[in-house]
Amino acid sequence: MKVLLGLLVSLFLFCLSSCIEIIDDLSFNADGSGTFKYNVNLSSSKVKINSVLALDSLDGKKVPSISEIENKINTVINSFQTKEGISDVTFESNYSDYIFKITCDFNSLNALQNAIRSVVKEESKNRTMPELNHNWLSYSEENFTRSVPKLTTKKISDIKSEDRELLKQGSYTSITRFYRPIDNFSNENGKISKSQKAIMVRSNIHSLIQNPNLLDNSINLVKTN
């Protein structure tokens, strides 16, 4: 989910100039409840991250310490797990390799979106971001739609050319799993599993920042008799 990407990545001022791998994994049950998993892996750039963390400032901005980053992330996670319709929140962090994993259950897709939207508003200086009014996910018994808002943490034009190459090496993988088979889908880059119950869309981070709609998809499930 691009909104959550914007929130988590913004905690690392240097992440968007590093090689980053993100996996967004969404699973649905028959009643519309489900499980959401979000993994951020910066291990390929840990040497660069450590060098940045050793500085007092970068491009005129204060570089946060590990403890400050950890406290900020914990604040976000603690807030997220209090939201209505969200349960069983777990968070795994590895500050040696910079790998972060959040998992939660939700009782409806609206509950998940509202929880993410609420946390972003709490942490954002701009609480009136129009992108937050966008319903980027919708789900019914036979259809799932993903429509990603243009919410990014840094403009491509502000990133140095050598760092843009790192972004091209990074990846964002979106996986959506259902309790019954998929009939058809709209994203030409989508790859369906052998079981026909899951679909994956992958993009590099550079392309995704330029065009968040690369993750857009309309998925129709096989109709029940």
**Annotated domain spans of the chain:** 2-221
Pull the structure tokens for residue 182. 């998929």
**Is the model's pLDDT at 120 over the cut of 60?**
yes
Global confidence as pTM: 0.83
Taken as a whole, the chain contains a residue count of 225
Which has the higher per-residue pLDDT, 158 or 155?
158
Q: Using one digit for the tens of pLDDT, what is the confidence trace for 159-209?
A: 565 566 666 677 889 999 999 999 999 999 999 999 999 999 998 877 777
C-alpha closest to that of 196 among 174, 221, 215, 216: 221
DSSP strands (E only) in the chain: 21-28, 34-41, 57-58, 61-62, 86-94, 99-106, 137-139, 143-146, 171-177, 182-185, 191-192, 198-204, 217-221
Burial class of residue 223 in the structure, from the number of CB atoms within 10 Å of its CB (0-12 exposed, 13-18 middle, 19+ buried): exposed
Average of pLDDT values for 45-73? Answer: 81
Average of pLDDT values for 73-79? Answer: 88
| SS3 assignment, position 102 | strand
**Is the model's pLDDT at 6 over the cut of 90?**
no
